[in-house]
Amino acid sequence: MASSPEAKKSKPMPKKQLQHFEKRLLEERRRVLKELGHHDDTMQANDGDLNSYSFHMADQGTDAMEREKAFLMASKEGRFLWHIDQALRRLYKTPEAFGKCVECGQDIAYERLDALPHARYCIECKQREEDGKK
């Protein structure tokens, strides 16, 4: 797929842009790790603390819902962290291929990468993938 003649002609991303996306990915990584730390603190604060134990059933339900919400947010952020780490691996291992669609090999639009620096697909291939899931 990436062996099409157009993909071979496309030039690697300039070093300055690679540095920009590396910086963006590292910033996102720090933000996510900070969020995960916050969620971890939230879950640990409610874990086994008798002072925060609610005796009223409505409070118990609220507490359980808050713990579940914190867990779901942490798992979502954990998946996002995995995608960021994968993008950093691609950037460091094969910088010449960073910013190229893994499906068709074409350049991913700068605007798309700037919004989602961990993107692996161009917008056309991503839309095809999502249409196929329906």
Domain ranges for the chain: 5-133
Kindly report, residue by residue over 40-97, the tens digit of the pLDDT: 555 555 554 544 555 656 666 666 666 666 666 667 788 888 899 999 999 999 999 9
- For 39, the enclosing helix (H) or strand (E) is helix 15-45
Confidence of residue 2 (pLDDT cuts 50, 70, 90): very low
Nearest to 83 by CA among 131, 125, 32: 32
Question: Model's pTM, two decimal places?
Answer: 0.65
Task: Specify the pLDDT at position 78.
Answer: 82
Which CATH code of 3.30.379.10, 3.40.710.10, 1.20.120.910, 1.10.340.70 fits the domain covering 5-133? Answer: 1.20.120.910
